[in-house]
Chain A
């Protein structure tokens, strides 16, 4: 926990830096979209304004207008048609830009998470992470789109300023004062906005988070008869969220009204100051119509600008929330340029070919230590020595650190201290290193995904049918598949729920075997298997995976008997190392572990 807090507090580049990186990322995508927004918000409204001024001047005859009334009316329609066409083009440009930006942010986060130590890849729950993926990435893309609208309005404002200055300098200045005030107010209110926004976002995460967990555990909830009580818990989270959101909304609305009011106040002032000028005949009704027309735009503009400044602050919150998911990876990674594949072919699935160096000769571990930051428990000063083709079993009581040891070794937990050596060479990034074709892994409670059994096992790994069959056979899954009406094409449901616990475990084993890695690491692979299936599984592992080096957590007898060495853990430390017969003779803990079962019978 401590490490994480430090990393989020670490300096990150400014919010503008992120926006600038994203602007440069695909300049054409943003540029063409920007031009279109200028056309829609800057050019077309300006044209309408001129036509309106012309119409009123034509009517009162106060100023010379060369076009007749019908032509002016037709022009008004023509401007609307042009704007309509522009809007259509804009739809595509808009989404193209939105998806470009969100896809880049999302893939950078996702890729980072997939490279993180896998056992602790997201800081909170997956549901919470999803809400960050969804809302916070969207927030930046929306903001950048809105900035272009501001740009469009800006173009409009500049033209308006020139036109108005040429009509009357004093009145023009009055129109633009509110803008300055609004920007001032918005800056002033920044901190509060950030605070309220953060609170409402967090309350939202808590809700999505809980809903995700609730449905992930739906069977347990049903069996516990806890449906109503869970909904009560949700109710409490909902109330917090409503209150937080209301605060957020109310504050933004007050701010927004303040913007509008300043503008309105100045419209009133214009009316007051224009009276004498008009009566003197220096200011036509057409000019007034144009000024009031401009004012309604300036009002919107100041509201939009004020809103953007406030939004810009909230954007900082969104960026922080996304960086939180990166967990210590440099904050610049969020906007690192990478292809986003919005159209055309998807990226290739890359599996490196097995090379000489991927063959394991020896694996050494020195002084490996990992302590969970929350509880301080874990493993301490672990030394291991594995040689090619051997079978090593890690055993010990519940909570003795067996799984932690495997995860720390494979880089699924961050390396705290100690060294890992593959064929004598130090492994700097265990998480990057311990992947196929060097190693493959089956966790204690393996997860499958809602796709076909085949896709689950292969995950895009390119192998022929024979290798697939061999892996399925080695995992003792062949009979099960034969019984499924769709065989390997069977879709296994969310987290593999359509399979039994034992089938999931063996499917995960097949996923490991098919990769033909030099080092196989499996955690309690047989816990959900019946006696006969388990015996078949061990037998097939010992015959088909002879060439592989195996590192296994188990307290099952067939595994212990076959082991070339047993690493016995107690309270996170190595209690003893050796073959079963030696340990049974000399070690009390081993005797207890071995005979525990028999005492019962």
Chain B
């Protein structure tokens, strides 16, 4: 996204602002029209008030009857009251429209961002996402509801006032129209001067809050290693940069607002001067002078509001730009959504639990930072090749034990299978049992289908501040409770579960507080049982379990991988004893691949060597 050429981003934005509005406001067409109506009625009532007072003054100076004065007084109160009623209604409608639209946008943006590939998420921490999805869109709230209608309303109000003034006296109308035109020209010319500064401010803010979010999650690490004063220093550093940017942005906006004020003060003075001259010449009454004066002040309000709204719009535009930037960020992982060929799709729906798997000359490196790569590496050669020419296949139901040092590419290999990344070279195929001939390139399978067929248990389990049920099913309400309880029981978690006060409705703490790491890992197993996939990956799944507990869940694991194709990643040799095949990775190459039995018996094999190292560990 950062790498996107600048003109393209701007074009997209110009297109999308309008599209965005239409998209999110059109579902509430009825409400928007009603809202417009209320706002316009309100504006109309505003126009009436000066007329009433003007007439009042003329009635007084022309010594009219007291009953007429009373009538005007009552009329004034009535109009003012109605105005307030409409203000309440339109405030309610405004907020409702705004929140419905922005909530929808929040949801779409979340969905979009969740679909982005991991390259994106590696550079955008959760705190930043909160600021994008919540703070930015909060700023847009006004934009959706108030701004458009009020802006249009205010422009109409200005037009109406000018017309009325023309009717009162054409000279005064002319003078004030002149000033309004100058003001509007000025506004449209300089409208955008603050946008880049607001953007900078919001960026500084996002940095600050993602810093906070991250540190608040890592307090134990900071505290126990004495990092407090360092963290506080960084905290103030970020506040300083936020402060500087806020002041700068506000200055730019103020230039705009103040110039508007000045233009109108001059306009006001001139209209009073002209009005006065006309009055002295007996052309207009003193009541009319007052009306003119009131209207010229009334003009100030919508124009002031327009300029304020424009400054809000500057903020909104900065936010909008970020939102649209995010929306136009494309995942490098292309989701085919629908299969091109009907036969393929049939095959995949029928895709049972027994799936064969084939890596065909797959090579991969992480190209997370294209902008840095461009600057620093003059050599076109990709640095940090993670996997090179990986070539192997597994028959349905076969179990692969994957060994290798940390950083040898084991986990990366599984990420490719989920299409968290796509390889730069080579293809990964899976195929439904039994005919190997129907092998499908995983890039042609809809992501949702692919990911529902593959399950993984890793050493980290991410828990939400949500109920036990939602945590286990990942918000899938189609899984019934008895199934969940059965799985928990099968994993020996009944004891833990019974300590929960509200059963499946008990809330878990965010980040899994209150759970031991081992228990959390058992919950990860529970998740995978509930998902029931065709291919299972265990990535160091039992590393946090003590041997005794590990033994307890062996049976569960046996049940889990029975009849499924499985990849078991392990640092420990004992973990791969149930494998049919063994692969040893070394710096992204396959160092050894073969039948486990055969490798165990072959004294020259790397696996055999490792087995001996492993035994050393026990004997030492």
Contact = CB atoms under 8 A, between A and B. Distances in A.
B240 A342 contact: yes
A390 B475 CA distance: 48
Contacts of B231: 114, 459
Given A77-B269, A529-B406, A530-B405, A126 B217 contact: yes
Given A403-B516, A601-B577, A116 B219 contact: yes
Contact of A460 (B106, B233, B418): B233
B243 A342 contact: yes
A494 B206 CA distance: 14
Given A253-B91, A531-B614, A268 B80 contact: yes
Given A279-B63, A531-B613, A223 B221 contact: no
Interface string B440-455: 0000000110011011
Nearest to A435: B226
Interface string A244-273: 011001100110110011001101110110
B91 A398 contact: no
A223 B528 CA distance: 11
A384 interface: no
Interface string A198-236: 000000100111111111111111111111111111110
B456 to A, nearest CB: 6
B494 to A, nearest CB: 13
Contact of A127 (B213, B408, B540): B213
B130 A515 contact: no
A356 interface: no
B293 A52 contact: yes
A20 interface: no
A229 B233 CA distance: 40
Interface string A392-420: 00011111001110010010100000000
Contact of B262 (A81, A217, A512): A81
Contacts of A460: 227, 229-230, 233
A435 B225 contact: yes
B23 interface: no
A598 interface: yes
B254 A226 contact: no
Interface string B566-581: 0000011110010000
B1 interface: no
Given A261-B81, A285-B290, A503-B406, A218 B114 contact: yes
Interface in A523-570: 524, 527-535, 555, 557-558, 561
Interface stretch (B177-185, B310-318, B460-468): B460-468
A261 B61 contact: no
A268 B107 contact: no
A431 interface: yes
A459 B227 contact: yes
A473 to B, nearest CB: 16
Interface stretch (A21-29, A54-62, A150-158, A180-188): A54-62
B127 A59 contact: no
A441 B224 contact: yes
Contacts, number: 554
Interface string A355-382: 0000000000000000010111100000
Interface residues of A, number: 193
Interface of A is mostly: helix
A79 B111 contact: no
B269 A74 contact: yes
B118 interface: yes
B122 A498 contact: yes
Contacts of A269: 73
Interface in B457-481: 459-462, 464-466, 470, 474-476
B87 interface: yes
Interface stretch (B27-35, B422-430, B548-556): B548-556
Contacts of A55: 272, 276
Nearest to B569: A530
Interface residues of B, number: 174
A231 B246 CA distance: 33
A231 B53 CA distance: 55
A88 B258 CA distance: 8
B574 A600 contact: yes
Most chain-A Cβ atoms within 10 A of its Cβ — which of B123, B130, B232?
A: B130
Interface stretch (B12-20, B96-104, B156-164, B336-344): B96-104
A431 B411 CA distance: 37
B133 interface: yes
A428 interface: no
Interface stretch (B167-175, B349-357, B506-514): B506-514
A297 interface: no
A159 interface: no
Given A77-B269, A84-B258, A342-B240, A230 B226 contact: no
B57 interface: yes
A459 B522 CA distance: 34
Contact of B129 (A134, A211, A461, A531): A211
B599 interface: no
Given A208-B130, A279-B63, A377-B499, A225 B459 contact: no
Interface stretch (A170-178, A316-324, A588-596): A588-596
B241 to A, nearest CB: 11
A242 B125 CA distance: 26
Interface string A53-93: 00110111000000001101110110111011001100110
Interface in B206-236: 209-210, 212-233, 235-236
A555 B265 contact: no
Given A84-B262, A249-B92, A494 B549 contact: no
B76 A268 contact: yes
Given A88-B254, A223-B456, A502-B407, A449 B215 contact: yes
A224 B531 contact: yes
A103 B236 contact: yes
A480 to B, nearest CB: 6
B186 interface: no
Interface in B289-308: 289-290, 293
A257 B286 contact: no
B346 interface: no
A272 B95 contact: no
A275 interface: yes
B405 A533 contact: yes
B537 to A, nearest CB: 9
A250 to B, nearest CB: 5
A55 B454 CA distance: 83
A572 to B, nearest CB: 11
A404 B517 CA distance: 11
B513 A494 contact: no
Contacts of B227: 459-460
Contacts of A111: 228, 232
A107 B548 contact: no
Contact of B516 (A70, A215, A398, A485): A398
A575 interface: no
B620 interface: yes
A55 B114 CA distance: 65
Given A69-B276, A267-B76, A347 B229 contact: yes
Nearest to B56: A271
Nearest to A451: B234
A500 B466 CA distance: 28
A340 B510 CA distance: 31
Nearest to B58: A285
A329 interface: no
Nearest to A375: B499
Contact of B224 (A88, A118, A222): A118
- A-B CB proximity, top 9 nearest: A398-B518, A596-B547, A80-B265, A217-B462, A460-B230, A502-B406, A494-B125, A264-B80, A268-B77
6 contacts: A73-B272, A120-B513, A249-B91, A289-B293, A530-B405, A598-B574
Given A224-B451, A349-B229, A398-B517, 11 more contacts: A59-B286, A114-B228, A116-B219, A118-B221, A222-B420, A260-B84, A275-B73, A398-B522, A398-B545, A410-B224, A597-B574
